[in-house]
């Protein structure tokens, strides 16, 4: 069949093959490719032209260019931390406390043109060689500023949680798009086939709003979606048998299953999906031992645990997640996302009524663990190849939301995120909000630029990484494309 389609190439596939895979036209996206790595197959797969069938969706793929980072740890401060109380120092805001001023804001409470200022509730001190002012909320993290690039001119399309969460995780305010971690795994595959390539750890109080939509693979195959990981108990769903099956028993079962399946496959030797499924049971078996090994902290020293704050009740939970993130990073997990905050209202950083109470709580839970993570990654030589991203779905307004109290409404006109590690310049700050922190004014950036930066550092060209769906070459950074933030890239 001759194709009269435009000559074009997508991730090394022809358009036809691409459309095909995207439409799920192949009977299956098989695992054989990755098992070839393990020398699992003795028999070569049959038939020409079925290379794509034999490639695992998560088999390692070549990046577009040399990557600066091998993996990402995204610390998601769900609910929207206030930039003027954390990293975006606004000295002029303090004396305006309680004064009503003309100011354009847009948040949950709608568009407003004036508001009562809430002065920053913490003092800022300069830290590190770069002298970056950091608020007293983060005494530990502040010691790491020389490794961090602060981005103060972030903007997003929405100051409403529902759409803003989707924006930060999938680049679009409309539901249904694959998340950042899915794009990374789609583009690069996974280094470790015995663990998921994309791991999500949620807050004790529950998931963020929209739940699984935040780590969905959208219109891509489910192989690219995030797997929810728990630092305690069964790390992944169904990793252990529901009412306990002894390893011996399970091995016997698997051996007999293998025997039956091999006999079945023998008469259907050309169907690689059957082999892939046989292999998937061996992989599952391996996951049952490799996953608990990943979450087992018994070989971690007390010093290391203390570094993450695991010895303190306040920081133990987030500290465990950060330590687990490092262990997963060491084991080749490509994209790890940890949520600080879950559920609704003050269970996350969504400080509508009392910023002091809310931010003291969430910063207090996470400051030491995050500093511990950066320090530990660095001392193990992992920071250079691990990209750490910190931030929420938006920031908060310099003014109060209600007539009383210190709560701030959402702010997508300007907010701060930071990155550290693989390919990032340390000790720099990029972009500015106005002197009150209400909107980004200098070097304004969009969430798409942040996403483009992550992809670029991972060796993927954000403007070429595409997936054909719904008649379009879909991209994380949208049809318009976006540049990475070169000023903070080493």
Q: What is the DSSP annotation of 400-412?
A: ESSSSSS-EEEE-
What does the DSSP 8-state code read for residue 288? H
| Dihedral of the alpha carbons of 341, 343, 345, 351, in degrees to the nearest 10 | 10
Neighbours of 192 (CB within 10 A): 18
**DSSP, residue by residue, 305-316:** HHHTTTTSHHHH
Q: Counting contacts by CB under 8 A, is residue 242 touching another protein?
A: yes
Return the number of the residue (15 or 305) whose C-beta is nearest another protein. 15
Query: Closest separation between CB of residue 209 and another protein, Å?
Result: 4
- Is residue 1 a contact residue for another protein (CB under 8 A)? yes
Q: At closest approach, how far in Å is the CB of 371 from another protein?
A: 28
Binding residues for another protein restricted to 313-372, rule: CB under 8 A: 342-344
- Cβ contacts of residue 172 below 8 Å, gap of 6+? 166, 478
For residues 116 and 399, is the Cβ–Cβ distance under 8 A? yes
Nearest alpha carbon to residue 269 among 281, 257, 278, 280: 278
Interaction between residue 176 and another protein (CB under 8 A): yes
103 within 8 A of 115, measured Cβ to Cβ: yes
Task: Estimate to the nearest angstrom the gap between the alpha carbon of 118 and the chain centroid.
Answer: 31
The residue among 82 and 288 lying less far from another protein, judged by its C-beta, is 288
In the complex with another protein, the residue whose CB is nearer, 233 or 381, is 233
Stretch that binds another protein, among 248-256, 293-301, 307-315, 374-382 (CB under 8 A): 248-256
Q: Which conformational region is residue 131 in: left (phi greater than 0), alpha (psi within -120 to 50 degrees), or beta?
A: left
243 near another protein, judged by CB under 8 A = yes
Interactions with another protein, residue window 153-172 (CB under 8 A): 153, 157-164, 166
Rounded Cα–Cα distance for residues 410 and 398 (Å): 10
Q: How far is it, in rounded angstroms, from Cα 240 to Cα 236?
A: 9
Q: Which residue, 177 or 327, has its beta carbon nearer to another protein?
A: 177
Distance CA 91, CA 108 (A): 26
Does 63 interact with another protein (rule: CB under 8 A)?
no
Do 125 and 137 form a contact (C-beta atoms < 8 A)? no
Binding segment toward another protein, per CB under 8 A, in 84-92, 354-362, 397-405, 437-445: 437-445
**378 part of the interface to another protein, by CB under 8 A:** no
| Closest C-alpha to 199, from 164, 239, 160 | 239
Is residue 39 involved in binding another protein (CB under 8 A)? no
Look at the block and give the residue holding tokens 């600066």.
68
Of 6, 39, 95, 313, the residue at the interface with another protein (CB under 8 A) is 6
160-174 burial, b if ≥16 CB within 10 A, otherwise e? bbebbbbbbbbbbbe
Torsion of CA 185, 187, 188, 192, to 10 degrees: 20
Give the residue from 489, 474, 423, 488 showing the smallest Cα distance to 172: 474
What contacts 77, CB < 8 A, 6 or more positions away? 340, 341, 349, 362, 366, 390, 391, 392
Q: Which of 72, 75, 142, 278 binds another protein (CB under 8 A)?
A: 278
From 86, 192, 273, 337, residue interacting with another protein (rule: CB under 8 A): 273
Binds another protein by CB under 8 A, chosen from 121, 213, 359, 451? 213
Asked if 44 is part of the footprint of another protein (rule: CB under 8 A), the reply reads no
Q: Is 209 in the site for another protein (CB under 8 A)?
A: yes
Is residue 440 within 8 A of residue 414, CB to CB? The reply is yes
User: Looking at 72, 142, 440, 450, which residue binds another protein (CB under 8 A)?
Assistant: 440
Please check whether residue 53 is in contact with residue 272, taking contact to mean a CB–CB distance below 8 angstroms: yes
Piece of 29-37, 85-93, 122-130, 328-336 that binds another protein (CB under 8 A): 29-37
**Shortest Å, Cβ 156 to another protein:** 9
Please, which residues bridge with residue 206 across strands? Answer: 203
* 28 lines the binding site for another protein (CB under 8 A): yes
Residue 372 or 392 having the CB closest to another protein: 392
* Beta carbon nearer to another protein, 14 or 125: 14
Does 208 bind another protein (CB under 8 A)? Our answer is: yes
Residues 465-484 that bind another protein (CB under 8 A): 468-472, 479-481
Nearest distance in Å: CB 206, another protein: 5
The interface region with another protein, picked from 18-26, 179-187, 315-323, 354-362 by CB under 8 A, is: 18-26
Cβ closest to another protein, residue 223 vs residue 406: 223
Binder of another protein out of 246, 298, 302, 313 (CB under 8 A):
246
Binding segment for another protein (CB under 8 A), chosen from 63-71, 243-251, 372-380, 421-429, is: 243-251
Instruction: Pick one of 40, 41, 281, 297: the residue that binds another protein (CB under 8 A).
Output: 281
Q: Is 41 in the site for another protein (CB under 8 A)?
A: no
Distance CA 76, CA 171 (A): 15
Nearer to another protein, 276 or 387 (CB): 276
Which tokens is 384 given?
């250079």
Q: Is 239 in the site for another protein (CB under 8 A)?
A: yes
Is residue 248 at the binding interface for another protein, with CB under 8 A as the rule?
yes
- DSSP one-letter code for 91: G
CB of 79 to another protein, least distance (A): 11
105-144: contacts with another protein (CB under 8 A): 110-111
DSSP secondary-structure letter at 375? Answer: H
């Amino acid at each position: 069949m001759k194709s009269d389609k435009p000559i074009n190439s997508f991730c090394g596939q022809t358009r036809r093959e691409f459309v095909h895979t995207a439409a799920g036209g192949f009977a299956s996206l098989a695992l054989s490719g990755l098992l070839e790595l393990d020398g699992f197959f003795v028999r070569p797969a049959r038939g020409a032209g079925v290379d794509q069938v034999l490639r695992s969706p998560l088999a390692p793929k070549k990046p577009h260019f040399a990557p600066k980072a091998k993996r990402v740890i995204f610390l998601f401060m769900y609910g929207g931390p206030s930039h003027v109380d954390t990293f975006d120092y606004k000295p002029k805001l303090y004396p305006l406390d309680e004064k009503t001023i003309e100011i354009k804001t847009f948040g949950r409470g709608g568009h407003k043109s004036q508001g009562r200022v809430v002065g920053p509730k913490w003092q800022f001190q300069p830290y590190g060689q770069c002298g970056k002012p950091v608020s007293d909320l983060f005494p530990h993290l502040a010691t790491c500023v020389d490794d961090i690039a602060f981005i103060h001119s972030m903007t997003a399309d929405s100051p409403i949680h529902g759409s803003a969460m989707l924006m930060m995780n999938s680049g679009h305010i409309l539901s249904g798009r694959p998340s950042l971690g899915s794009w990374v795994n789609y583009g690069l595959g996974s280094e470790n086939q015995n663990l998921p390539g994309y791991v999500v750890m949620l807050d004790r109080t529950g998931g963020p709003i929209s739940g699984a939509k935040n780590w969905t693979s959208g219109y891509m195959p489910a192989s690219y979606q995030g797997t929810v990981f728990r630092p305690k108990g069964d790390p992944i769903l169904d990793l252990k048998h529901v009412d306990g099956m002894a390893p011996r028993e399970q091995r016997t079962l698997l051996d007999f299953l293998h025997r039956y399946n091999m006999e079945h496959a023998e008469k259907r030797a050309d169907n690689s999906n059957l082999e892939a499924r046989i292999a998937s049971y061996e992989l599952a078996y391996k996951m049952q031992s490799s996953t608990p090994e990943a979450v087992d902290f018994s070989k971690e020293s007390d010093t290391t645990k203390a570094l993450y704050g695991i010895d303190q009740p306040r920081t133990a939970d987030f500290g465990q997640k950060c330590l687990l993130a490092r262990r997963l990073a060491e084991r080749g997990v490509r994209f790890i996302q940890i949520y600080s905050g879950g559920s609704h209202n003050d269970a996350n950083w969504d400080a509508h009524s009392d910023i002091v109470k809310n931010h003291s709580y969430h910063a207090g839970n996470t400051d030491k663990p995050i500093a511990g993570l950066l320090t530990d990654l660095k001392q193990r030589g992992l920071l250079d190849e691990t990209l750490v991203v910190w931030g929420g779905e938006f920031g908060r307004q310099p003014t109060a939301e209600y007539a009383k109290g210190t709560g701030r409404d959402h702010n997508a006109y300007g907010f701060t995120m930071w990155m550290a590690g693989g390919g990032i310049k340390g000790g720099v700050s990029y972009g500015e909000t106005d002197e009150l922190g209400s909107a980004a004014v200098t070097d304004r950036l969009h969430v798409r630029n942040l996403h483009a930066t992550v992809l670029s550092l991972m060796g993927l060209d954000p403007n070429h990484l595409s997936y054909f769906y719904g008649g379009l070459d879909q991209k994380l950074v949208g049809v318009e494309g976006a540049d990475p933030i070169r000023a903070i890239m080493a």
